[in-house]
A and B are shown apart, each in its own frame.
Chain A
Amino acid sequence: MFAVACPSGSAIMPGRMSAPDRIVRDAASIGLATGVYAVSFGVLAVAAGLSVAQTCALSLLTFTGASQFTFVSVVAAGGSVASAFPPALLLAARNGIYALSLKQVLPRSRVRQALDAQLVIDESTAMAHAQPTPERKRRAFLATGVSVFVLWNLGTLIGAAAGEGLGDPKDLGLDAIFPAVFLALLAPQLRRDGAVGAAIGGAALAVVLLPLTPAGVPVMVAVLAAIPALASRRARG
């Protein structure tokens, strides 16, 4: 969902707490942070024209925050639903890479795998990989996944219900929240090789295409700006 700092990886706490306790405590605080944040998703989704039930369904079933925000933001800006899919799915695809990296430490039963799959997000993956042993990785994945799932959905419901009674979303500055969210998601990615160039290229394409093309198209075309960086990375092997 959103990359977060992992306190249990840095072992800041004195040895008073056992490792499992610390995992549960960290999982709870990460869940709380995303839950409060989910309130803003609920408000924005309802302002974009989704019903409360649809907003809650998105959080329950899609359960990957960056994609949910992207999907709703394109629709809110007047883009077609079809044009909201590609950027949302591009952001959701990284969960597949996370699942790839987690399979070895998670239970092998098919039923458990089907359930665990839904919990594969930024936070649960980061918490799992911050642990030293397979047993603790499993615990951290489950504790964080469940904590974020419960509080993300609770926050969404609160936001969606509150959003129904709010006035013009612009008066509350809600439209200014989307770009801030995407900036916070982008910033940690910029340290990668070639990322700054790709970001500038994507932004430039969007500025040029914004007045010329239907809503949703600039974001779809922007992905082309990653090609130079990908090509140079491949050339270096």
Chain B
Amino acid sequence: MSWGAILALSAAAYALKLAGFALAGRVDPRAAERWSLELVVVPVLAALIIVQTLDGGERIVVDARLPALAVAAVLVWRRAPLLVVVLAAGGTAAGLRLLGAA
């Protein structure tokens, strides 16, 4: 990973925050709401879940990550704290691999 990439990402993230302050007063917050940025993020997150679960180097691989995701889904649905979700997902995958099951 190059330092340039890290600094570029940081500069862009900061600029986006500052842009909000700069545009306040000039842009109606309700107009910003209508841009529906949150909605744009939805398919991106869904795709990230798929890629992170099934990616095997440009082919689809089913392994311990899939049952781990299922465990995480149940916990998210039960509104468990984020930390519990993370530990349970990692623990499920690690446990299955230890047992040689996936």
**Chain A residues in contact with chain B, CB under 8 A?**
2, 33, 36-37, 40, 48-51, 54, 57-58, 61-64, 67, 70-71, 73, 75, 77-78, 81, 84-85, 87-104, 113-114, 116-118, 120, 170-187, 189-190, 192, 194-195, 198-203, 205-207, 210-215, 218-219, 221-226, 229-230, 233-234
Residues of chain B contacted by A89 (CB below 8 angstroms): 9, 12-13, 16
Question: Is there contact, CB below 8 Å, between B50 and A91?
Answer: no
Question: Is there contact, CB below 8 Å, between B90 and A177?
Answer: yes
Known: A61-B13, A229-B36. 5 other contacts (CB 8 A): A91-B41, A181-B82, A198-B39, A210-B59, A226-B36
Question: Is there contact, CB below 8 Å, between B52 and A73?
Answer: yes
Given the interface contacts A77-B55, A85-B9, A176-B92, does A190 sit within 8 Å of B82 by beta carbon?
no
Contact of A182 among B27, B48, B60, B88 (CB under 8 A): B48
Bound together, the chains give a CA A93 to CA B9 distance in angstroms of 12
Given the interface contacts A40-B86, A100-B20, A214-B58, does A192 sit within 8 Å of B42 by beta carbon?
yes
Residues of chain A contacted by B8 (CB below 8 angstroms): 85
Question: Is there contact, CB below 8 Å, between B51 and A226?
Answer: no
Question: Is there contact, CB below 8 Å, between B42 and A87?
Answer: no
Question: Is there contact, CB below 8 Å, between A182 and B20?
Answer: no
- Main DSSP-derived SS at the A contact region: helix
Bound together, the chains give a CA A183 to CA B16 distance in angstroms of 24
Instruction: Find residues 1-47 in chain B having any chain A CB closer than 8 Å to their own CB.
Output: 1-3, 5-10, 12-14, 16-21, 23-25, 27, 29, 32-34, 36-47
Show 8 residue pairs from A and B whose CB-CB distance is below 8 angstroms, ordered by the A residue: A49-B1, A61-B13, A63-B13, A97-B20, A176-B65, A176-B69, A181-B82, A187-B76
Question: Is there contact, CB below 8 Å, between A218 and B44?
Answer: no
Bound together, the chains give a CA A180 to CA B93 distance in angstroms of 11
B89 → A minimal CB distance (Å): 3
B1 → A minimal CB distance (Å): 5
- Main DSSP-derived SS at the B contact region: helix
Question: Is there contact, CB below 8 Å, between A95 and B64?
Answer: no
A38 → B minimal CB distance (Å): 11
Bound together, the chains give a CA A103 to CA B40 distance in angstroms of 24
Question: Is there contact, CB below 8 Å, between B16 and A210?
Answer: no
Given the interface contacts A99-B19, A100-B32, A179-B49, does A33 sit within 8 Å of B42 by beta carbon?
no
Question: Is there contact, CB below 8 Å, between B38 and A211?
Answer: no
Contact of B50 among A94, A116, A120, A207 (CB under 8 A): A207
Bound together, the chains give a CA A176 to CA B61 distance in angstroms of 13
Residues of chain B contacted by A230 (CB below 8 angstroms): 36, 39-40
Bound together, the chains give a CA A194 to CA B81 distance in angstroms of 26
Residues of chain B contacted by A194 (CB below 8 angstroms): 39
A191 → B minimal CB distance (Å): 10
Bound together, the chains give a CA A14 to CA B78 distance in angstroms of 27
Contact of A90 among B20, B34, B40, B73 (CB under 8 A): B40
Residue of A nearest to B67 (CB): A176
Residues of chain B contacted by A181 (CB below 8 angstroms): 82, 85-86
Question: Is there contact, CB below 8 Å, between B10 and A176?
Answer: no
